[in-house]
Amino acid sequence: MGRICAEFAEPDEALAAHRALLDEGIPSQDIEIRSPCPLPEEAIPPHRSHPMRMRNWVRFFWICGAIGGFALAAGSQLDFKIFTGGHPLVSLPIDVIIVYECAMLTGLITTLTFFFIETRRYRKMCPPREEDLPVAEGHVALVVESEEAERAAGILRQRGARSVATLAFLVLFLLAFPGCTVRMRTQPVIKSTAREGVAQPRGTVTMPGLDERKHLYGTVLGYAIPEQVRELDKKDVIVPTAVMRMKNPVPYSARSVQRGREIFGELCVLCHGVKGKGDGPVADEFQPIPADLTDPVTQQKVDGELFWRITIGPSSMPSFYDRLTAEDRFHLVNFIRSLTRK
């Protein structure tokens, strides 16, 4: 097995020599013609020719991209039902723009991908070789690699060739998206003045803040909320025995769970996460971290205790006695039950 490389100053000479080799019976798949620029294709003698399927792949992936683009736009709009500007949720004339761009992007990337796939099929990803030098000089090289290399060399006024292999690596650049930061801590917070004890001008009517309104909802469903219960129970929740024994007045039903899910999606999901695993977007902000509601520890608690915990809010969880009616809190309890009851 020999390998030779012949160098020609003019492309026409190289093409003529190529033809001569074929005439002498050297199989065309053993000859490789290498040039610094594309040679006229009709002038190249028949050589190994693999079908070029790049176009069809681009067509195929263009359509895939269009479908993907539509799925992205329409899927996100259906997933995230927000109406804007009086347009329907999935508005075809508008989404067509996204579809179009996605299809084009896929087509462009497919072109490059299949360019690499199709060119790499015929050779290994090789490093510079000796025969690269004549090409770099602007010459055309004919590389013959076969049993009859000696004979071919004679025809082509032989030139020696040797190969040195080193490997080139394609560097992949991974684009890392910046992490999500929830700016709860940095934005300004306004505290109620009623509690801070700021000297108010005479005749000022104090507007109660959320915390001060507890007396408005002091009794719900017959259960009084002691004035200091929040501060005391924050650290170590003591559930009144009456509450522990209490039966859930709202029967477990699909309707109730649905209502619970709505409230959960509005108030709880940011900390407890969609699945109630305690992995919501802002969960990391808290120490201890929000409870995993699907955990047996939570699920083994009786309805009354869950109700009480939602009511007063243990640890860093806010209390909901002033934001949710007792009925809604029981809906939430039913929803928490539904997380593991399948």
Partner 1 sequence: MSFKAPDLSIKQIYDEVMTTVLGPRPKMATLLLMIILAAIVLHGVFQFFRQSFVGLGVTGLTMPVYWGIYIATFVFWIGVAHAGALISAILRITGAEWKSSITRIAEVITLFTLPAAASFPFIHMGRPGLFYYLIPYPNNRLIWPNFKSPLMWDFFAISTYFIGSVLFLYVTLIPDLGTARPNMKGWRKTLYTILSFGWRGTAEEWKRVKEAAALFSVLILPVVISVHTIVSWDFAMQLVPGWHSEVFGPYFFVGALYSGVAAVFTVMTLLKWRCGFKDLITPIHYDMLGRVFLALGLAWAYLFFNDFLPGYYSNEPDKMAYFRYLAFSHPYSVLFWLMFLTNFVLPIACLSFKGFRMSTVPMFLLSIGVNVGMYIERVLIVFCGTQVYNPLARNVTVYVPSFTEISIVAATFAGVTLGYMLFIRAFPILPIWELAETKIRQTVREIAGKKVYYFKSGE
Partner 2 sequence: MSVKEKEKGPRWGMVADVDRCTGCKACVLACRSENNVPVVGEQEVNRGRILDWIHVDRFWKGEYPDVTAEFIPMLCQHCEKAPCESVCPVYASHHSHDGLNAQIYNRCVGTRFCANNCPYHVRVFNFFSPRWPQPLEQQLNPDVTARDTGVMEKCTFCVQRIRRAELDARLRGKPLRDGELRPACVQSCPTSALVFGDFHDPHSAVSKTARSPRAVRVLEDLGTEPRIVYLKADRRKEII
132 token code pair:
């690269």
Q: Which is nearer to partner 2, 168 or 205 (CB)?
A: 205
Instruction: Kindly report the length of the chain.
Output: 342
Nearest approach in angstroms of CB 190 to partner 2 is: 5
Q: Annotate each residue in 39-78 with x if it binds partner 2 (CB under 8 A) or - if it does not, as one string.
A: ----------------------------------------
How many binding residues for partner 2 (CB under 8 A)?
A: 26
Q: How many residues belong to the site for partner 1 (CB under 8 A)?
A: 75
Q: Of 310, 314, 316, 313, give the one whose Cα is nearest residue 337.
A: 310
Rule CB under 8 A: choose which of 133, 207, 238, 242 binds partner 1: 133
Taking CB under 8 A as the criterion, the residue among 16, 39, 220, 237 binding partner 1 is 39
Q: Which two tokens stand for residue 85?
A: 């500007």
**3-state secondary structure (DSSP) of residue 4:** strand
| Options 1, 25, 50, 235; binder of partner 1; rule CB under 8 A | 50
**In this structure, are residues 340 and 299 in contact, taking their beta carbons and an 8 Å threshold?**
yes
Residue number, 49 or 204, with CB nearest to partner 2? 204
User: What b-and-e string marks burial along 308-329, b requiring 16 or more CB atoms within 10 Å of the CB?
Assistant: bbbbbbbbebebbbbebebebb
Among 1, 25, 40, 247, binds partner 1 (CB under 8 A): 40
For partner 2, the closer of residues 193 and 315 by Cβ is: 193
Cβ atoms 309, 297 nearer than 8 A: no
Type of residue at 173: F
Whole-angstrom Cα distance, residue 172 to residue 275? 35
State which of residues 126, 136, 207, 242 lies at the interface with partner 2 (CB under 8 A).
Answer: 207
233 close to 225: Cβ distance less than 8 angstroms: no
SS3 of residue 18 by DSSP: helix
Q: Six-digit token pair at 133?
A: 């030098």
Please check whether residue 285 is in contact with residue 184, taking contact to mean a CB–CB distance below 8 angstroms: yes
Candidate ranges 53-61, 147-155, 212-220, 320-328; the one touching partner 1 (CB under 8 A): 53-61
Considering only 48, 53, 59, 87, the residue that binds partner 2 (CB under 8 A) is 87
Nearer to partner 1, 85 or 222 (CB): 85
109 binds, among partner 2, partner 1, none (CB under 5 to 8 A by kind): partner 1
For position 119 contacting partner 1 by CB under 8 A, the verdict is yes
Which tokens belong to 275? 């699945």
187 lies in the binding site for partner 2 (CB under 8 A):
yes
138 binds, among partner 2, partner 1, none (CB under 5 to 8 A by kind): partner 1
Site for partner 1 in 253-292 (CB under 8 A): 269, 274, 281
Examine residue 209 and tell whether it contacts partner 2 (CB under 8 A). yes
* Binding flag, residue 102, partner 1 (CB under 8 A): yes
* Residue tagged 């509005």 (tokens): 266
| b (16+ CB within 10 A) / e for 147-178 | ebbebbbebbebeebeeeeeeeeeeeeeeeee
210 binds partner 2 (CB under 8 A): yes
Work out the number of other CB atoms within 10 angstroms of the CB of residue 59: 12
Q: Which one of 123, 124, 183, 245 is in contact with partner 2 (CB under 8 A)?
A: 183
> How many CB atoms sit inside 10 A of residue 131's CB?
22
Which region, judged by CB under 8 A, interacts with partner 1, from 79-87, 213-221, 235-243, 304-312? 79-87
Question: Is 181 a residue that touches partner 2 (CB under 8 A)?
Answer: no
Residue 303, burial from CB neighbour count under 10 angstroms (0-12, 13-18, 19+) = buried
Contacts to partner 1 from residues 144-203, by CB under 8 A? 168-171, 177-178, 180-181
Note the residues at the interface with partner 2 (CB under 8 A).
80-87, 183, 186-193, 198, 200, 207, 209-210, 217, 220, 323, 325
